Chain A
Amino acid sequence: MSAQAPGGEMVLRVENLVLEYPLPRQSLFAPAPRHRALDGVSLQVARGESLAVVGESGSGKSSLARAVLALEQPGAGRVELMGQDVFALSPGALRGLRRHAQMVFQDPYGSLDPRRKVGWIVAEPLDALESGVGAAARQARIAEVLVSVGLKARDAEKFPHEFSGGQRQRIAIARALITHPALIIADEPVSALDVSVQAQVLNLFMDLRERLGLSYLFISHDLAVVRHVADRVAVMRHGQIVEEGAVEQVFREPQHPYTRKLLAAVPRVGHPRQAVAGATTAP
Chain B
Amino acid sequence: MTLLSLQDLSVVLDTPEGPATVLDRVSFDLAAGESLGIVGESGCGKSMTALAVMGLLPDAARCTGRIDFEGRDLLALDEQALCALRGRCIAMVFQEPMTALNPVKSIGYQVAEGLRWHLGLGRGEAAARAVKLLDRVGLPQPRFSPDLYPHQLSGGQRQRVVIAMALACDPALLIADEPTTALDVTSQAEILALIAEVTAASGMALMLITHDLAVVWQNTAAMLVMYAGAVAERGTTAEVFARMAHPYTRGLLAASPGALGDILPAGRRLATIPGQVPDPQDRPTGCVFAARCARAAADCLPRPPAERVLAPGHAVACLHPHEEETVL
CA distance A224 to B157 in the complex (A): 24
Chain B interface size, as a band, is 35 or more
CA distance A279 to B263 in the complex (A): 32
Contacts of A274 in B (CB 8 A): 189, 193
Q: Is A262 an interface residue (CB 8 A)?
A: yes
Q: Are B255 and A196 in contact (CB under 8 A)?
A: yes
Q: Mark B265-288, 1 if CB is under 8 A from A, else 0.
A: 001011111001000000000000
Q: Is B154 an interface residue (CB 8 A)?
A: yes
Q: Are A270 and B328 in contact (CB under 8 A)?
A: yes
Q: Is A91 an interface residue (CB 8 A)?
A: no
CA distance A227 to B41 in the complex (A): 23
Q: Is A164 an interface residue (CB 8 A)?
A: yes
Residue of A197, A277, A280 near B157 (CB, 8 A) is: A280
Known: A221-B185, A270-B328, A280-B156. Is A195-B252 also a contact (CB below 8 A)?
yes
CB distance from B143 to the nearest CB of A (A): 7
CB distance from B119 to the nearest CB of A (A): 27
Smallest CB-CB separation from B152: which chain A residue?
A: A283
Smallest CB-CB separation from A190: which chain B residue?
A: B257
Q: Are A283 and B154 in contact (CB under 8 A)?
A: yes
Q: Is B253 an interface residue (CB 8 A)?
A: yes
Q: Is B149 an interface residue (CB 8 A)?
A: no
CB distance from A207 to the nearest CB of B (A): 8
Smallest CB-CB separation from B44: which chain A residue?
A: A194
Contacts of A74 in B (CB 8 A): none
Q: Are B257 and A196 in contact (CB under 8 A)?
A: no
Q: Are B213 and A269 in contact (CB under 8 A)?
A: yes
Q: Are B184 and A195 in contact (CB under 8 A)?
A: no
CA distance A223 to B258 in the complex (A): 8
Q: Are B276 and A281 in contact (CB under 8 A)?
A: no
Q: Tell me which residues from 222 to 271 in chain A have a Cβ below 8 Å from any Cβ of chain B.
A: 222-225, 227-228, 247-248, 251, 261-262, 264-271
Q: Are B272 and A203 in contact (CB under 8 A)?
A: yes
- Which stretch (B74-82, B215-223, B308-316) binds chain A? B215-223
Contacts of A248 in B (CB 8 A): 263
Q: Are A56 and B184 in contact (CB under 8 A)?
A: yes
Contacts of B270 in A (CB 8 A): 199, 202-203, 228
Q: Is A73 an interface residue (CB 8 A)?
A: no
Q: Is B202 an interface residue (CB 8 A)?
A: no
Residue of B185, B213, B272 near A222 (CB, 8 A) is: B185
Residue of B140, B144, B257 near A224 (CB, 8 A) is: B257
Residue with the highest number of chain B CB atoms closer than 10 Å, among A56, A206, A248, A267: A267
Residue of A195, A251, A265 near B211 (CB, 8 A) is: A195
Q: Are A269 and B253 in contact (CB under 8 A)?
A: yes
Smallest CB-CB separation from B143: which chain A residue?
A: A283
Contacts of B144 in A (CB 8 A): 280
CA distance A272 to B193 in the complex (A): 11
Q: Are B258 and A222 in contact (CB under 8 A)?
A: yes
CA distance A272 to B263 in the complex (A): 21
Q: Is B138 an interface residue (CB 8 A)?
A: yes
CA distance A279 to B141 in the complex (A): 13
Q: Are A262 and B185 in contact (CB under 8 A)?
A: yes
- On A, residues with C-beta under 8 Å from B are 56-58, 164-166, 194-200, 202-203, 206-207, 210, 221-225, 227-228, 247-248, 251, 261-262, 264-277, 279-281, 283
A-B contact pairs, 18 of them (CB 8 A): A194-B41, A194-B211, A195-B255, A196-B251, A199-B271, A203-B269, A203-B272, A248-B263, A264-B189, A265-B185, A266-B214, A268-B214, A269-B217, A270-B328, A273-B196, A274-B193, A280-B144, A283-B143
